[in-house]
Amino acid sequence: MLYNRSMTTTPPDSAAEPKQQPFAASAGEHVRAVQAALVDLLAEAGLSGARPTKVGRELGLDKTLAWKVVRFMEDEDLAGAARHMPGSGGVEILLKAVRKRGIDAEQIDAVRQADRDLRSFMEQHAGDRRSFEAMLASGGRDERIESEERRAYYRAGSAIWGVRARVQFLMLALRPSATNDGMLDAVQVSGLLDFERLRPDVPWIIRRLRASSDTGKGLQFEREPLDPAGKTGPTVPLFPAYCSEPLPELQQFTGSNGWVYDQIAPGPVGRSGALTCVTGEIYRAALPYRRSEDNTEARYTLTVRTPVEGVHFDLLLHRDLAHFESRETRVHGLLEDRPMGSTSAEHRSPLMAPSPTQFLGQPPTLQTTRIPFYARMVGDALAKAGWGEPPDYRAFRADLDYPAAPCEVTMHFDINE
């Protein structure tokens, strides 16, 4: 999606909330209480400051349990400590082992009670341990947890929706329009690699296209196929050289909302029916590129609605767009489906922490292991459009594993004078 807008925000209304002990503070008290009780217990057992191997050897513990106990005690970070916390069964094994060394029952009960209090707090506020870890993470995020959960989400989504793909990608090249002063032309190449159906009765929408102004009003612009050989009827224009054979069967329709939908038709299931679908188009005079009061920021968005293992998104800016300055990449969920251009859209919670957009240089280094033919494909696309070669552009990239669909991956650029 192409989208330019002015940078205006309206703070959301917020009702006064009753004061209460913040979750992290209360959780910290419970975690620290268990840590302190364990420190005292091992000190009483003559194992103060001992490494996991010694703790395991002296107490006859499994090495994994000994490692968890020591890491839990020593980790100053709450999320890290929660990650290493031994299970309740492991705690009882530890207490049974130290009891054999003659440790006072009162000290053993202190560990047991602190552990029970922590688990009760966890159950009350988080429901399960994984949620507890995520809630404790700095800023509410833990990359390790989120990565594992996104992978599980991908597997579940594939089974539920009946489709999956290895990679979804978008390459968007921009340059000043050759026919309309002050406007941008664009070359778009996008697709799904190794798309599989898990059920044969599933048509799957692979693209929705519409350009919007700052007011949210649809913009009209000329569209033409990048490769005339890929235009085989009133459907999305394929880029045949990079599609699987036989060419994917595609359908296109326009919704009452003005959006144009491209979909893969139902077909064979599994790997034997897997396909690679690559499309290419040229947009003429799609968006303004000069800075003005209502055109201070440019956003370029890849929408992910298919369960995919990875997303690859490149933006190529012609050297005449030197006044575009990359800011960051953001990922937002679409379950709420907040409309683009609305002030409420400014207050969506990001699915991932914003990150600097990767700069690929000028001339750009475009090769990627995700898509072996990618650099050659970009060169071919620019050549077919008559837009020169990759060295005429500087490039930026967003690259994600297992994005939680539906979501938007958006590159943000400041439009300077």
pLDDT of 215 reads 44
Does the pLDDT of residue 130 top 60, yes or no?
yes
Find the mean pLDDT for residues 307-324. Answer: 93
Mean pLDDT of the chain: 84
pLDDT bracket for residue 216 (50, 70, 90): very low
Top-confidence residue, 142 or 323: 323
Neighbours of 165 (CB within 10 A): 23
Does the pLDDT of residue 372 top 70, yes or no?
yes
Phi-psi region of 412 (alpha: psi -120 to 50; beta: other; left: phi over 0): beta
pLDDT in tens, 43-88: 988 998 889 999 999 999 999 999 999 999 888 877 778 888 899 9
What secondary structure, in 3-state letters, does the chain show? CEEEECCCCCCCCCCCCCCCCCHHHHHHHHHHHHHHHHHHHHHHCCCCCCCHHHHHHHHCCCHHHHHHHHHHHHCCCHHHHHHHCCCHHHHHHHHHHHHCCCCCHHHHHHHHHHHHHHHHHHHHHCCCHHHHHHHHCHHHCCHHHHHHHHHHHHHHHHHHHCEEEEEEEEEEEEEECCCCCCEEEEEEEEEEEEEEECCCCCCEEEEEECEECCCCCEECCEEEECCHHHCCCCCCCECHHHCCCCCCCEEEEECCCCCEEEEECCCCCCHHHCEEEEEEEEEEEEEECCCECCECEEEEEEEECCCEEEEEEEEEEEHHHCCEEEEEEEEEECCCCCCCCCHHHHHCCEEEEEECCEEEECCCCCCCCCCCCHHHHHHHHHHHHCCCCHHHEEEEEEEEECCCCCEEEEEEEEECC
* Nearest CA-CA partner of 405 in 342, 324, 337, 313: 337
Find the mean pLDDT for residues 196-204. Answer: 90
Q: Residues 295, 6: contact at Cβ < 8 Å?
A: yes
Does the pLDDT of residue 156 top 90, yes or no?
yes
Dihedral angle over CA of 20, 24, 29, 31, nearest 10: 150
pLDDT of 382 reads 95
Find the mean pLDDT for residues 35-44. Answer: 90
Kindly provide the b/e burial profile for residues 47-63, where b requires at least 16 CB atoms within 10 angstroms of the residue's own CB.
beebebeebbebbebee
Find the mean pLDDT for residues 383-410. Answer: 92
Top-confidence residue, 407 or 254: 407
Top-confidence residue, 74 or 210: 74
Strands 275-288 and 350-355: unpaired
Q: How far is CA 44 from the centre of its chain?
A: 47
Does the pLDDT of residue 212 top 70, yes or no?
no
Task: Mean pLDDT check: name the lowest of 12-16, 210-214, 250-254, 373-377.
Answer: 12-16
Does the pLDDT of residue 213 top 50, yes or no?
no
pLDDT of 133 reads 78
pLDDT of 236 reads 72
Find the mean pLDDT for residues 145-169. Answer: 90
Task: Please tell me the distance from the alpha carbon of residue 198 to that of residue 27, in angstroms, as a whole number.
Answer: 43
Percent of the chain residues past pLDDT 90, beyond the cut: 40
pLDDT of 334 reads 84
pLDDT in tens, 350-364: 777 788 889 999 899
Task: Mean pLDDT check: name the lowest of 170-174, 325-329, 352-356, 386-390.
Answer: 352-356
Radius of gyration of the chain (CA): 27
Does the pLDDT of residue 211 top 70, yes or no?
no
pLDDT bracket for residue 187 (50, 70, 90): very high
Top-confidence residue, 404 or 293: 404
Task: Mean pLDDT check: name the lowest of 8-12, 95-99, 208-212.
Answer: 8-12
pLDDT of 214 reads 44
pLDDT in tens, 233-254: 556 789 999 999 999 988 888 8
Find the mean pLDDT for residues 129-143. Answer: 69
Find the mean pLDDT for residues 205-226. Answer: 64
Does the pLDDT of residue 14 top 60, yes or no?
no
Exposed (0-12), middle (13-18) or buried (19+): which is 76, by Cβ within 10 Å? exposed
Task: Please tell me the distance from the alpha carbon of residue 403 to that of residue 400, in angstroms, as a whole number.
Answer: 6
Please state at what angle helix 88-99 crosses helix 52-59, rounded to 10 degrees. 60
Top-confidence residue, 196 or 128: 196
pLDDT bracket for residue 114 (50, 70, 90): very high
pLDDT of 376 reads 94
Exposed (0-12), middle (13-18) or buried (19+): which is 252, by Cβ within 10 Å? middle
Percent of the chain residues past pLDDT 70, beyond the cut: 86
Residue 47 phi/psi, 5-degree rounding, is -120, 30
